[in-house]
Amino acid sequence: MKEIIAANIASTVATIGLCIYFFCTAIVFVCKPEKYGKQYSVQPVDNAGKTEIRVYYGGISFALGLFLAVLAFVFGHPFYSLVGGLIFANTVFFTRLTFTFVDKAWGCPYTKLAIPAEGAFIVVLWICFAVAVAVENALTVG
C-alpha cells in the first residue's frame, strides 16, 4: 500500500477525495432519501420512489466509490482511478451546466450550489491529473 501511495501522491489524494465524496453521498441518500432528495429537488411520489433515490443516488454512488478504491488500492492503479473519476465529474458538471440552461433551472437553490461546487471540484481534479501525468511521465522517462 505504501508503494502505491508513494508512486503517485496526486492520483492517490484525488482518489481518496473522490471515494470520500461518493461514500458520503451514498450514506446520506441511503439513510435519508426523502430529506436529501428534497434538497436536490428530487421527491419520491411513493415508497418505490424512496427506493429509487436510495438505489440511484446512494447505491450507484457507493458503487463508484468502491470501484475507484478497488482500482486504486487493490489493483494498484490510482492514476486510472483518477481518470475514471475525472470523466465522471466532468460528465456530471457539463451535463448539469447544459441542462441548467435548457431547463431554465439557474434560479433553483440546488443549482446555485451545485454548479460552483462541482466546477471547483473538477478544477482540483484537473490539477491533480496534471501533476499525476507529470509524475507518470517522470517515472517512465527516469
- The whole-model pTM stands at 0.86
Per-residue confidence (pLDDT) for residue 41, from 0 to 100 = 85
CA distances from 27 to 23, 63, 127 (A): 6, 12, 28
When pLDDT is cut at 50, 70 and 90, the band that residue 142 belongs to is low
Task: Report how far residue 142's alpha carbon sits from residue 131's, in angstroms, rounded to the nearest whole number.
Answer: 16
Query: Hunting for cell 430529506 — which residue is that?
Result: 35
Mean pLDDT of the chain: 92
Measured in residues, the chain has a length of 142
Q: What is the pLDDT of residues 54-73, one digit of tens each?
A: 999 999 999 999 999 999 99
pLDDT band at 22 (very low <50, low <70, confident <90, very high): very high
